[in-house]
Every structure is written in C-alpha cells, then in structure tokens.
Amino acid sequence: MSEIEGLQLDDRDRALLDGAEGEAMSLAMRVVLRAAEITGASSLQDICFAHIDACFYNGQAHVDFARFMVDKGARLAVPTWTNTSLVSQVDTEIRPEKNDPVVVSGARLLMELYEQLGCEPVWTCAPYQLPGRPSLGDHIVGSESNAVTFYNSVVGARTNKYGDYLDVCAALVGRVPFSGLHTDEGRRGRLLFTLDAIPWELRHEDIFHHVLGHRLGRVAQSQVPVIQGLPPDSNEDQLKAISAAAAASGAVGLFHAVGVTPEAPDLASAFQGVEPEAEIGITPAELIEARDSLSMGGGGRLDMVAIGTPHFSFTEFARLVPLMDGRRVHDGTLFYVSTSRHVYALIEEQGWTAILHAAGVRVVVDTCTYFTPAVRGCRGRVMTNSAKWAYYAPGLLAVESVFGTLEECVESAVRGEVWRDDRLWRNNTWGARA
Amino acid sequence: MSSSEITARVLNPGKAAGEVMLLDEPLSFWGGFDAQTGIIVDQHHPQRGSCVAGRFLILPESRGSAGTPAGIAEAIRRGVGPVAIALGKADVNVAVGAMVAAALYGVEIPVLVMDDADRAGLRSGDRVEADRDGRLRITAAEYG
C-alpha cells in the first residue's frame, strides 16, 4: 500500500495511475482520486455496477471523451448500463437528423462509442425496472438523479450522484471515493416528515406521491428525509414518483419511508438511533400549493400528453392499456409514452403495443419527451402525470404544462381538452376544510 | 495601482492570468450557460448575457448538475471558456470538467477554492495571475 494525500491506494490503483493499462485508464484513476481528494474521502470503495449518464449527448466534448476512452483501450471493471440518450436508435423519426444534423449525428455516435466501450445498451433512466438490479448494501455508481434516489432509497444500494465523466471513470476503475451516501453516517435520516394531517385514502393515490416528492425536495434540499405514514403496500411506481420529484425539486439523493423502504423497518433504524434534527408535519395546504404549482395554466384545448418520466414501467402500462383499449386519442392531440426497450419488448409480447397504436398512443424508447424537442408537436399545452416532467419541461421546451393523474391524462387526450376528476381537486380530498 | 497576494486551494492545477468576472450568484454550467458561446443564459441570473470567455471567473458555487463537467469541457474546447474558475466551495464537477478538458485538449484551466473574505475583496475588472500552486497575485483595477 502507498499513500497519496492521505488516501490509501492498493497495487492496482497505483499501477493504473502509473499507466500500466494505458493513458485512458490512468486518466480514469486520476479523476477518481481527484474526486476523493476534493470530497475528503479517506479511502476508495469497490463497486459492483454502474449506470452512466455521460452517454447523453451534451456537445462534442462528450464524443471526444468517449472516443479517447475507446481508442486508448479503456476497459470497464463492472457491468455498466446506459442512461437515456438524446435520440432513439430504434425510432429515428422522433428526432429527424435533417432538422439538427450536428446534434443528432453526435448523439448517435456517442451511443455507438459507449457500446464499443462495453456498456449494456439499455438506454433508460429507470434501469431499476430491468432484471439484474443491484441489492441492498451494494456499492454502485448512479448518475441520473431519479435513478440515484431510487437505488439508494428503494433498493438500498449505495451511490452518490456522480456527474459526467466521473461516472465513466469510476466504472472503468471499479472504485469510488468512500464518502457521502456510501457511508452509514451519510445515510442517516435527518428530517422527519409526518403525514398525520393527510387523509389515508389520499395516501394511496398516485398523484399524492408525485406531489409529496415535489414538496419533500423543496424542503429537505440535500438532507436525508424520513417519511412516516406512507402505506406499507406503497408500490415501486409510487416510490419512483417520490424519487423523481424529490430529486428534481431539491437534491434529495436518498429518502427513507418507515415500514416501506429497506433501511427503515422502524423509525429508530431510519435515524440510526439518533434524534431527528427537525420534525415537519406535512399539511394539506402545502400539498395543495405544491400540486397547483405544477400546472402553469388552466384548462382548454390540449396539444399533447407526455407520460413516462421516468420511463414507464410494465405495471404502469398494465394500468394504461385498459384505459385506452377501444378508445381513440383526439385528432388534435398527440399522446407519447416514454419507456425502455426492455419494457417495450415485454408489452409487445402482451399484444399491448397494438392496442396502444390503434388508440393513437405513440411509445417512445431510448429517450424522453422532455429533452427531445423535435418530438412532433411538442409545444403548446401539454399534460403529464409526472411531477418531474411538469417541473423541468417548461424550462426546456416551449410548453405550458398541466399536471394530473394518469386517468385525467387519458380522458383529456380522448376529449382533446383538459379534463379534471373533480374528486381529486377538491381541497377536502387533500385533508383541508372545504 | 495596488497589488496583493492570496492563496487558494487548488482543485485543478493551471497557470492563468486574466481580468476578474465576479458572479453574484451560483451558476449552472449546464442549462444556465451556453457552452457554444460562453454566455450566461440563465434567465434568473443577475449576470445574464455576460460572456465568461477569457475571464478569471469567480463565483460562489456551481449549481449542481450532472452536466456541469460537459458544459465546462465543451466551452474550453471551443475556446470560449474562462481562463480560471475560483469557487467559494469545493466542487467535484467543475474540477472534473477542467481535468478532462486538460487531458483531451491540452488546455489547463485552474479550478480554485477561495475564502469568502478573499472573494469579498475582489471586484470585476481586477487583474489576477494564478500560479500552479494556488498563489494568486491581484492587481486592483483603477477606479476613476
């Protein structure tokens, strides 16, 4: 063992650094060590899996970096899966190359380079929906914000939010700085959020999880929140909604839900026996405010429905298909669902793609509607059931977002105008006095 | 003309000299910054419309985004990046962006962490020279 700036290195670390496996692996090791120095980590931690974001085209530097790694013989140390791409390899019509040749061809090339590097080309922001996900206690590299929060909170795998290049470098050397959410101390709950004032029935509605996540992110920022009062049978789609919304509106990389998530069988475990730094009762008024802040305008004619942010799961399709079966999206409205290739293959086996196609629903794979501005007709008034989409899209696209439930999205798409389920928008449903 | 010397923590080494551009608020190098032109595009940023190209950029912190390293590396590649970045707090993403740009394009941009007190003593227009070890020589701008 030798030391660099107080950091223990083993023989392989040292060999990589010295260029024994080439200049690309040496750069990767230097980047990981630099990150360790900056974060004050005292050691490096082996990882067993990575989900990288640097495959999302973000300018020519991204292509140059990937090309450098491939050309200089870099080799991945762990199974490495890819996040969504800016473009779809399967459906080239979604973002025609002629409209934006530099960006589209760059994004395609980047996808090819990461496949050459040896990545598993899953192209999804919801890799945890695919078989072969990591397990409780595994140290991994996550990068996309909802995936980081889902892996940490729901799976109980351990990762910080790794930015571009560091994600790839860590996957190459198979090590990360041992800091933050990799450590027990970093995973200790800090803030207790209680739901006593929120009706039990509402806590089973999907819209509640999006809104709760949105509120949680804004209040907790980067502190670890602990939620008490989620129903024990909360499903992974609902926990995905909390993860995505809290990571978008704040910087929540991990939450615990008592009696639901694996590191929080009880309150004491979530806080590791330490007192919460603050106890915050979520109020109906706060949730109503958060819910309303996700819609920019009111009702009226609807241009598009965009769902599947993060990528739609098999179980979400199982809810969508009966709602759409035998119905037809209005002529003036477009309906897009973003998902992964993997889930697409599963729904095709079920014969669901044919039903959705007949209903006028278009399923998009590899990418997402909120950063694929050339998705046909993505402008005007767009309805989504995703708090994350509603939060980000107005800044990225020329759209007015309207937030609602899956059922409201479907009904609105069929009618061609925003339709509200009054029951869900009455304040007393959310626990407020009427 | 008055000059002084301070020392900053080095997150990525490099030698640089340039005129200070002091940002009043954090900046996202992805989303809030156009890496093709070096111009700050964040609608809510007080320095929106300013170009960081060739400047000694001093800011409280970068707004966290996984895309930060790409924004920095791409701006450096296109020659519209700052000559140095000094932050109020340590930031892995900014350092990694500069490090990767150095490896790919041979352009070394120092990334530094400066004490709040040192940052407070600087004005846009001051001239700063940075050594690889984080020593900064500051020449205050003349005010008329």
Residue A208: per-residue pLDDT = 97
Residues of B in contact with A27 (CB under 8 A): 100, 103
Tens-place pLDDT, residues A82-100: 999 999 988 888 787 887 8
B26 and chain A in contact, CB less than 8 A: no
By the 8 A CB rule, do B85 and B110 touch? Answer: yes
Name the nearest CA neighbour of A191 among A283, A269, A259, A277: A277
Region B85-108 average pLDDT: 96
3-state secondary structure of A225: strand
* Top-confidence residue, A257 or A221: A257
Amino acid sitting at position B66? A
A171 and chain B in contact, CB less than 8 A: no
Q: Please state, for a pLDDT cut of 90, what percent of chain A lies above it.
A: 85
A405: closest CA of chain B, how far (Å)? 28
Between CA B72 and CA A251 the distance in angstroms is 21
Name the nearest CA neighbour of A222 among A163, A181, A162: A181
B28 and chain A in contact, CB less than 8 A: no
By the 8 A CB rule, do A357 and A77 touch? Answer: no
Dihedral sign of CA atoms A120, A36, A253, A264 in order: positive
Residue A237: per-residue pLDDT = 98
B118 and chain A in contact, CB less than 8 A: no
A131: left (phi over 0), alpha (psi -120 to 50) or beta: beta
Taking an 8 Å cut-off on Cβ atoms, the answer to whether B70 and A58 are in contact is yes
Taking an 8 Å cut-off on Cβ atoms, the answer to whether A34 and B95 are in contact is yes
CATH code, residues A304-425: 3.30.499.10
Q: State the best of A32, A38, A72 to mutate against chain B, taking most chain B CBs within 10 Å.
A: A38
Lowest mean pLDDT among A133-147, A368-382, A386-400, B46-60: A368-382
Between CA A28 and CA A5 the distance in angstroms is 18
Dihedral sign of CA atoms B71, B76, B79, B84 in order: positive
Residues of A in contact with B101 (CB under 8 A): 61
The residues, any chain, with a CB within 8 Å of residue A318's CB and separated by 6 or more, are: none
Number of Cβ within a 10 Å radius of residue A89: 17
B-contacting residues in A 208-247 (Cβ below 8 Å): none
Residues of B in contact with A251 (CB under 8 A): 64
Question: Structure pTM?
Answer: 0.95
Q: State the best of A23, A32, A65, A164 to mutate against chain B, taking most chain B CBs within 10 Å.
A: A164
CATH 3.50.30.10 fits B3-139, yes or no: yes
A239: left (phi over 0), alpha (psi -120 to 50) or beta: alpha
Contacts 24+ apart (CB under 8 A), A16-19: A16/A173
> Burial, B2: exposed, middle or buried (Cβ in 10 Å; 0-12, 13-18, 19+)?
exposed
Between CA B127 and CA A23 the distance in angstroms is 36
* Overall fold of domain A2-182: Aconitase; domain 3 (3.30.499)
A165 and chain B in contact, CB less than 8 A: yes
In this model, does residue A1 exceed pLDDT 80?
no
Task: Find, in chain B, the residue whose alpha carbon is nearest to that of A37.
Answer: B11
Q: How many CA atoms lie within 13 A of B38 on its CB side?
A: 17
Between CA B80 and CA B78 the distance in angstroms is 6
Report residue A316 as tokens.
């979400």
**Mean of all residue pLDDT scores within chain B:** 93
Taking an 8 Å cut-off on Cβ atoms, the answer to whether B100 and A27 are in contact is yes
A161 and chain B in contact, CB less than 8 A: yes
Residues of B in contact with A143 (CB under 8 A): 66
Tens-place pLDDT, residues A230-280: 999 999 999 999 999 999 888 899 999 999 999 999 999 999 999 999 999
A/B interface, count of CB pairs below 8 Å: 91
Catalytic site residue B4?
no
B103: closest CA of chain A, how far (Å)? 8
Residue A357: per-residue pLDDT = 97
B61: closest CA of chain A, how far (Å)? 14
**Mean of all residue pLDDT scores within chain A:** 94
Task: Find, in chain B, the residue whose alpha carbon is nearest to that of A251.
Answer: B64
Between CA A202 and CA A8 the distance in angstroms is 51
Catalytic one of B2, B4, B65, B124: B65
In this model, does residue A377 exceed pLDDT 70?
no
Tens-place pLDDT, residues A345-355: 999 999 999 99
Residue A2: per-residue pLDDT = 45
Supply φ then ψ for residue A326, to 5 degrees.
80, 0
